[in-house]
Amino acid sequence: MPVVRLKGLNQVKKRLKDGTVRVHWYAWKGGPKLDGQPGTPEFMDSYNRAVATRRNPQNDTLAGLVIRYKASPEFERLAPSTKAEWRRYLDMISADVGADDIGALTLKMLDDRRCRADIMDWRNQWASTPRKADFAMQVLSRTLSWSVSNGLLAINVAAGVEQLYQSNRADQIWTPEDLAAWTKAAPSPEVDVIVRLACVTGMRREDLVKLSWSHVGAFAIVMSTGKSRGRLTVTVPLLPDTKALLHEIKTQQARRHAELIEIAKRKKRPPPPACLTVLSNTRGKPWTASGLEGQVIKTKAAAGVDKHLHDARGTFATRLRMGGLTASEIADIVGWEEKRVERLLATYVDRDSIVKALAERINRNEAGAPAPNFFPTLSNDD
């Protein structure tokens, strides 16, 4: 039987948590994911559909808009990890197989507000996984918004759709009790300092793994933020707690590096280089974003702490307030809206400050006044 070689196939291997490797096939690099396995009729059918779509871009449908958006400079400017994730959802948007798929919606239909009912039905097929449903809507809305900006559509029928997933973590912080439980559960000093550093810098995961000792100055940490692909600079003032923790980390890194050098000597290997990043693993190497996130998930589960790494940003905001900064100044540092900062501070800092001030005033007043007689002696006339 002759072997048919399909042109342009793209193979992507993904290692799962259990160590097994799963292979995904795509019609071409950046193209739609194919169904089934090579050699099966299902695989050939999906490949032929993808090729037909590529030859006939269907410019008058949503699937055609997706193809054009993927080829746009706006999409190309996205970070590689973002593009990889968005392609999965763009393939879902452009699909035209299931009853709820929307890829075949024409531009005329998309410019009719009544089309929103079809969009909602499409979203609701993932109602049991609300985060996935919301992200799918986010990618769809961005695609339609790009289409409006480029004169392909008059309206964005996906704009303003309420999210299914409801979670307000703006008032979440890591308490001293949380951090104590975290430290106790941490499998190594290198893991222990991850959340502690986040709490005294307010940095995102992507920036934590990139933070180098060269970014640490005498008064502040200054580096390009990963969220903007290097276009913006984050400046984090060094609190006394931050300086103390950085000293602890540097000392621990030197100790670990010395241990690794001794191990290399015993195995007659070249000595490992010193790590240039502030955070490193037990092998003396920088963390990857996924590796760091995995350790955070495991350790907080072992500690019984129901907090996320990004909740450390709120913790940092409260520390800045205690240091005397205003809500406006804190908002500039952490990159939040001022109202969000005010809500957080009202919950954790300002409330406690008000109660403390009232208690101190009551104590001063009582100290300067005669003790009140709550049980006065009755007179003889009574």
Q: If we measure between CA atoms, which residue out of 213, 208, 112, 119 comes closest to residue 155?
A: 112
Q: Which residues contact 26 (CB under 8 A, 6 or more apart)?
A: 9, 10, 11, 12, 32, 33, 34
* Domains along the chain with CATH numbers: 1-56 (no CATH), 61-166 (1.10.150), 176-357 (1.10.443.10)
Give the amino acid at 224.
Answer: S
| Interval 331-341: pLDDT, tens | 878 777 777 77
Give the amino acid at 226.
Answer: G
pTM of the model: 0.55
Element (H, E) at 379: none
Give the amino acid at 181.
Answer: A
Q: Are 236 and 312 in contact (CB under 8 A)?
A: no
| Interval 134-159: pLDDT, tens | 999 999 999 999 999 999 999 999 99
Residue 367 phi, psi dihedral angles, 5° rounding: -70, -30
Distances in Å between the Cα of 120 and the Cα atoms of 113, 310, 378 are 12, 30, 76
| Interval 231-279: pLDDT, tens | 567 788 898 999 999 999 999 999 999 999 999 999 999 999 999 999 9
Rounded to an integer, what distance in angstroms lies between the CA atom of residue 329 and that of residue 316? 13
- CA dihedral angle for residue 99, residue 103, residue 108, residue 109, rounded to 10 degrees: 30
Q: What is the structure's pLDDT at 335?
A: 74
Q: What is the structure's pLDDT at 32?
A: 73
Q: What is the structure's pLDDT at 50?
A: 74
Q: What is the structure's pLDDT at 169?
A: 54
Q: Which residues contact 108 (CB under 8 A, 6 or more apart)?
A: 60
DSSP H stretches of helix in the chain: 41-55, 62-70, 73-76, 80-94, 107-110, 116-124, 130-149, 176-185, 189-201, 205-210, 240-266, 289-303, 312-322, 327-334, 338-348, 350-367
Residue 8 phi, psi dihedral angles, 5° rounding: 85, 0
Q: What is the structure's pLDDT at 37?
A: 83
All residue ranges of the chain with pLDDT < 70 are 1-5, 7, 29-31, 52-59, 166-171, 225-232, 347-382
